[in-house]
Amino acid sequence: MSTLSLAGVAKNYGSTWALEDVNLDIESGEFVVLLGASGSGKSTLLNIIAGLEVPARGKVILGGRDASDLSPAQRKVAMVFQSCALYPSLSVRRNLSFSLEMKRMRKRDIRDRVEGIARQLQIESLLDRNPYELSGGEKQRVAIGRALVREPSVFLLDEPLSSLDTVLRASLRTELKRLHEQSPGTFVYVTHDALEAMTLATRIAVLDQGRILQFDRPDVIYSRPATSFIGSLIGSPNMNLVAARYSVHDHHVRLHLATRELVLSPFPPGKARCGDDRVIAGFRPEHVQFTSETRPDTFCGRVLSIESTGPDQYSRIMLCDQPITARVPHGLRIERNTLVSFRIDAASISLFSPVNGRRLN
């Protein structure tokens, strides 16, 4: 059973639509990341799930019940904001216990639960401090603790790590993943950081201009992006997107790319397009294999530059008149301004429509 469903949710601010017809079914215990650039509507969606904003159309269904008439407090959701939003006038302990006090829980139970959560998050020593005495990372831990204390069925996290530095972000990311594994709750996490999405999510929903472009497992989103936009959004360095032409022969797709021809598996039914043979071919830097032999499907190009990211080296290669990025395997030395031969793994090529960017194969 899905714990959280969105059915045809739309939201407008005046004449601009922040969300248009969003449908999502999130299973219990999932870690769903809403990934999108700023202005894509991801935070609005989170606020609608929380009940902080009212959708113009559509429904939020929580635990099988229509939540439209439930107040934020009645929805059994907890939220973590980017700015932490700790109550400035309350101590850390009171920040953690505030929601329980509102529920009129017994004092002893409150204390036990707050101290349990503080132990779990290793913030016991901070309990009697004030928010302004905490560092950025400590504040965010308290904010996470404040969500955990409520024992919600859905955790809503609005870019909780984006104001932290890189090291802290990585360690809190690991911690969030651990918390998700230990907790029975469902996580919905908003971010614009594709790496966070890939490492945390059980499923990623990619949003653009108020629509969900793709909702799938991270590995599927990585290897079979639904649009060229998603391909370029996820993965570092980006997916190579090059203009090509194609023809269909004997149920196979022949991709004409820079005077070479690659044979691809056939299009799914209904995807072949009439009258236009232009296409955008997308492939990842690691799908470029350097080779010394010359075969009909080997390409040749001039190396523009080489950059190292530490564990990996990437080279920019001119393929006809379009630069592409290729991963250079360990032990292979290539020089700037030389010609290299390489193959592109045909099975992993994604084809996109040049008109609307949608995936064709």
Q: Which of residues 112-131 bind another protein (CB under 8 A)?
A: 130-131
Q: Judged by CB under 8 A, does residue 91 bind another protein?
A: no
**Contact flag: residue 317 with another protein (CB under 8 A):** no
# chain residues binding another protein, by CB under 8 A:
28
Which C-beta is closer to another protein: that of 139 or that of 141?
139
Options 23, 68, 83, 236; binder of another protein; rule CB under 8 A: 83
Residue among 120 and 163 whose Cβ is closer to another protein: 163
318: contact with another protein by CB under 8 A: no
Single out the residue of 22, 33, 49, 79 in contact with another protein (rule: CB under 8 A): 79
Q: How far apart are CB 353 and another protein at their closest, in Å?
A: 40
Q: Is 102 in the site for another protein (CB under 8 A)?
A: yes
* Helix (H) / strand (E) containing 48: helix 42-50
**Dihedral class, residue 104 (left if φ above 0, else alpha if ψ from -120 to 50, else beta):** left
- What b/e string do you get for 156-195 counting C-beta neighbours within 10 Å, with b at 16 or more? bbbbbbeebeeebbeebbebbeebbeeeebbbbbbbbbbe
| Candidate ranges 7-15, 75-83, 223-231, 265-273; the one touching another protein (CB under 8 A) | 75-83
**What strand order describes the sheet that includes 31-35?**
77-80, 154-158, 186-191, 31-35, 203-208, 211-216
- What span, in angstroms and rounded, lies between the C-alpha atoms of 125 and 334? 54
167 membership: H or E segment, kind and range: helix 166-182
Is residue 251 within the footprint of another protein (CB under 8 A)? no
Give bridge partners of residue 78 from the DSSP assignment: 155
From 14, 69, 108, 132, residue interacting with another protein (rule: CB under 8 A): 132
Q: By C-beta, is 158 or 196 nearer to another protein?
A: 158
Q: Are strands 288-290 and 154-158 parallel, antiparallel or unpaired?
A: unpaired
Site for another protein contains 89 (CB under 8 A): yes
User: Closest CB to another protein among 15 and 71?
Assistant: 71
DSSP string over 241-298? EEEEEEEEETTEEEEEETTEEEEEPPPPTT---SS--EEEEEE-GGGEEE-SS--TT-
Considering only the stretches 77-85, 106-114, 180-188, 349-357, report the one whose residues sit in contact with another protein under the rule CB under 8 A.
Answer: 77-85
> CA-CA distance, 266 to 257, in Å (whole number)?
17
Instruction: Tell the smallest beta-carbon distance from residue 192 to another protein (Å).
Output: 18
Contact with another protein (CB under 8 A) among 17, 98, 267, 290 = 98
- C-alpha 94, offset from chain centre: 33
> What number of H helices and E strands is found in the chain?
8, 20
Judged by CB, which is closer to another protein: 89, or 308?
89
275 binds another protein (CB under 8 A): no
Of positions 48, 49, 78, 226, contacts another protein by CB under 8 A: 78
Q: Shortest distance, CB of residue 98 to another protein, whole angstroms?
A: 6
Taking the complex as a whole, the smallest distance from the CB of residue 178 to another protein amounts, in Å, to: 24
Q: What is the radius of gyration, based on Cα positions, of the chain?
A: 24
- If one asks whether residue 9 binds another protein (CB under 8 A), the answer comes out as no
Angle between helices 136-149 and 107-120 (to 10 degrees): 130
Write the DSSP assignment of 51-112 as a string of letters: TSS--SEEEEEETTEE-TT--GGGGTEEEE-TT----TTS-HHHHHHHHHHHTT--HHHHHH
Let me know: does 351 contact 310? Beta carbons within 8 Å.
Answer: no
User: Do residues 53 and 5 make contact, with C-beta atoms less than 8 angstroms apart?
Assistant: no
Please state the closest distance from residue 116 (CB atom) to another protein, in A.
19
Q: Which of the residues 27 through 66 are near another protein (CB under 8 A)?
A: 47, 50-52
Question: Applying CB under 8 A, does 338 fall inside the site for another protein?
Answer: no
For another protein, the closer of residues 26 and 77 by Cβ is 77
- Give SS3 for 327: strand
Which of 2, 12, 28, 99 forms a contact with another protein (CB under 8 A)?
99
Binding site for another protein (CB under 8 A): 47, 50-52, 71-74, 77-79, 81, 83-90, 98-99, 102-103, 130-132, 139
